[in-house]
Homo-oligomer: A and B are copies of this chain.
Amino acid sequence: MKPANKNIHAVVMAGGAGTRFWPLSRESSPKQMLKIVGEDTMIRQTIKRLRGFVPDENISIVTSEKLKFDLGIHLEGLKKGKGRLKIITEPFGRNTAPAIGLAAVYLKKTKTDTIMIVLPADHSIRSEDIFIETLKTAIKCAEGNRLVTLGIKPSRPETGYGYIKKSSRLKSQNPKLQMYRVERFTEKPDAKTAQKYLKDSNYLWNSGIFVWKTSAILEEIKKYIPALYSGLLKIEKAIGTKDERKIIEEVYSELDAVSIDYAVLEKSKNVMVVPADIGWSDVGSWAALDEALPHDANGNIIKGNVIDVESRDSIVFSGGRLVATIGLKDMVVVDTADATLVCRKEKAQDVKKVVDELKKHGREEYLIHKTVERPWGAYTVLEVGDRYKIKRLFIKPGASLSLQIHRHRSEHWVVVSGTARVTKDREVYDVHPNESTYIPMSTKHRLENMGKVPLQIIEVQNGEYLGEDDIERLSDDYNR
């Protein structure tokens, strides 16, 4: 592997809520954190794809305050060598222009000027080598102070994307480099226009992958979104001071939500496009998996514990429970521990309506999965009843939960594998498989796995109030 380029930075946009992949996506585990295409999650693949080209310490991830903690856990183990991924948090999402501006001023603060690659965290790219080669071309182009976007050659008359019409080719010392001026950006076309664009080699899909110098994009933001620019100046001054978070929040509360495409690229005279034949998909809905995953002989994509009888052209995902499908045609079925989606493929975008309904009623099936990753391992809610809740806890070897107190619940722990080191008030003792212990309400306690094998505990909570927020952390390895 070639040494990575110290002067190139990557900004991964990971603020998306990804409601279109419900019930696999949840508020606390949106699309970018799902393993739907390929061997790892979308954001982890996005980061891995840059390995050897951009050093890990040059990768920043822009996400929301809300998601920061879960995303941090999710990305654990990705930090290789001395590299440490940076996480930049927005107080709340304001579309891509503010997110890109914020990342740019953070980069500007550390390096005077640098190349900045902007990547959505949740796109799929099959041809990774060609992708890196394309980025190199785009960087060459961006070094001339231009804003560069990667344009995808359309493979179907898609009406859901914006298109870019390229014009003349840019002259370059290297005749192999394909770089074009942009004639114009277009709105999402109707079906007839999309057919026309498909036949015209000048039209490309706007991929949302951009390359530019921090100075160049800030310059254009200054010109086309002056309110954002002046906010960014305030933030730049506050970075590293005790007021940093407060100022960012103040600035954000005044900002309009606006995309970089609409507010800058469509207006700027300085935009170039580099055609990218990289096997790209934005994986925009369950139905979009058709372009990102291989099919069986009947045109189906079937994963997990499924018995199928004569279905065709359908997508069936099961977690652990059994799903039996019979005679489906153009359907999507997705099963998780607490919710199942059954949807006609052409209606896959309407999953949003279900999510809106769940959101409105504050239902857990929108917020979290039954299994929740924590820095120390994971817990799974097995059952919630009247005045009791049952969880399975999985604690990694060497890991430790915080020293904590619950005011409204007591806990019975039965160890089913591994050995638990339990702190209970002043006592410290070990609990082995097939042994149990009891933590009364308002008792200081801590659970640790000092062993070499995972510790599994069944926890039965009793109490009037069993919310996750009944926790007072006295000491925590993970600084929560």
Contact = CB atoms under 8 A, between A and B. Distances in A.
Interface of A: 22-23, 307, 309-310, 321-329, 331, 333, 335, 338-344, 346-348, 350-351, 353-354, 357-358, 363, 365, 382-383, 385-388, 390, 392, 410, 412, 414, 416-417, 433-434, 436, 438, 456, 458, 460, 462
B386 A383 contact: no
A307 B412 CA distance: 36
A340 B329 contact: no
B438 A462 contact: no
B434 A410 contact: yes
Contacts of A383: 382, 392
Contacts of A329: 344
5 contacts: A328-B343, A331-B342, A412-B436, A414-B462, A416-B462
Contacts of A462: 414, 416, 433-434
Contacts of A346: 327
Contacts of A351: 324, 326
A436 B458 CA distance: 13
Contacts of A392: 383, 385
Contacts of A388: 416-417, 456, 458
A350 B22 CA distance: 29
Contacts of A358: 307
A326 B343 contact: yes
A309 B353 contact: yes
Copy count, this protein chain = 2
Contacts of A436: 412, 436, 438, 460
Given A309-B353, A322-B338, 15 more contacts: A310-B347, A310-B350, A321-B340, A323-B340, A323-B342, A324-B343, A328-B342, A328-B343, A328-B344, A342-B342, A386-B416, A387-B433, A412-B412, A412-B436, A434-B462
Nearest to A351: B326
A380 to B, nearest CB: 8
B350 A327 contact: yes
A325 B343 contact: yes
A339 B324 CA distance: 8
Nearest to A364: B322
Contacts of A348: 326
B340 A335 contact: yes
B338 A321 contact: yes
Contacts of A390: 382, 390, 458
A344 B412 CA distance: 46
Nearest to A23: B324
A1 B317 CA distance: 55
B347 A309 contact: yes
